[in-house]
Amino acid sequence: SLGDEDLALIESHALQALNDNQHGTPITWFNPKTKINGTLVLVSAAQKNQRPCKTLAISLFDAEGVSLEGQYLLCKTASGWKREGF
């Protein structure tokens, strides 16, 4: 399970990918306390309901090699980026 520190790392790196707008460029990190590392890639950008939206691919791995992967659509709102359904 992911702790607050890992969730904060995911959020900060997701914001970096969303704001840098570098499609296909992996952003990686490692948390030495939990031994969890992650990779995040901006996959695509599009408009949905007249809002800018971007798809992120996220991969997480723990010290035992267990992985968690997924793609998430996030759309820009007045209060920031929010996850949308596909």
Check if the beta carbon of residue 25 is closer than 8 Å to that of residue 50.
no
What proportion of the chain, given as a percentage, has pLDDT over 90? 80
Which residues in 4-86 belong to E strands, given as ranges?
A: 27-31, 36-48, 51-61, 67-77, 80-84
Inform me whether the pLDDT recorded for 14 exceeds 60: yes
Say how far apart CA 18 and CA 3 lie, in whole Å. 23
DSSP state of 35: T
Whole-prediction pTM: 0.85
Please state the rounded mean pLDDT for residues 24-39: 95
Say how far apart CA 23 and CA 45 lie, in whole Å. 9
Nearest to 24 by CA among 4, 49, 41, 37: 41
Please state the rounded mean pLDDT for residues 36-46: 95
Q: For position 86, what pLDDT does the model report? A: 53
Tell me the pLDDT band of 84, cut-offs 50, 70 and 90. confident
Please state the rounded mean pLDDT for residues 59-85: 92
Q: For position 21, what pLDDT does the model report? A: 86
